[in-house]
Amino acid sequence: MDTKSSRHHAGFALVELLIVVIIAGNLASVAIPLYRRATERAFLTEADTAPGVMARSMRTVLISHPGDPGNMLFLTAQYTPGASLKTSDVIELRNDETDLDGRFFDNGSYRLQSLTATTNAIYAYGDSSSIPNKNSVSGMIRSINQG
């Protein structure tokens, strides 16, 4: 009896292992970009939500202010026009220090800029965050313009 032909080989052939590695590589090449886009959308959603809340708060202040509704002269008289103000420093908006704290952006990330009698812009700066996850949003800037 021939001992070579009666042996039972266990394990995988090199070709089988290469096929598994190729399939895993193809799956990773599709999954990693999808994951990155999903996390970036999460960052942008958080960056867009708080300025939207601030914009609504600003409209409420403007509507409820006596005098000319929609005129921000009462704010420009108190704050330097064109300056970059932390939104928490604008007393009329009635924000607490932690109202806008999120997972990637905190209260210090949001600025009120381009403040004139009829316009303003609210910005979210990723670099201004003091949250531990701030490296994820470093360099990211989002804005809402009103006017």
* Sequence letter at residue 69: P
* Cα separation, 110 vs 116, whole angstroms: 18
* Cα separation, 48 vs 147, whole angstroms: 18
The pLDDT value recorded for residue 112 is 81
Helix and strand totals (H; E) in the chain: 3, 4
Which two three-digit tokens encode residue 95?
């924000």
pLDDT > 70? residue 6:
no
Q: Please say whether the beta carbons of 105 and 97 come within 8 A.
A: no
The tokens 């708080």 sit on which residue? 50
82: alpha, beta or left? (left if phi > 0; alpha if psi -120 to 50): left
The pLDDT value recorded for residue 59 is 79
Confidence of residue 89 (pLDDT cuts 50, 70, 90): confident
Confidence of residue 34 (pLDDT cuts 50, 70, 90): very high
Which two three-digit tokens encode residue 99?
């109202």
Share of residues in the chain with pLDDT > 70 (%) = 86
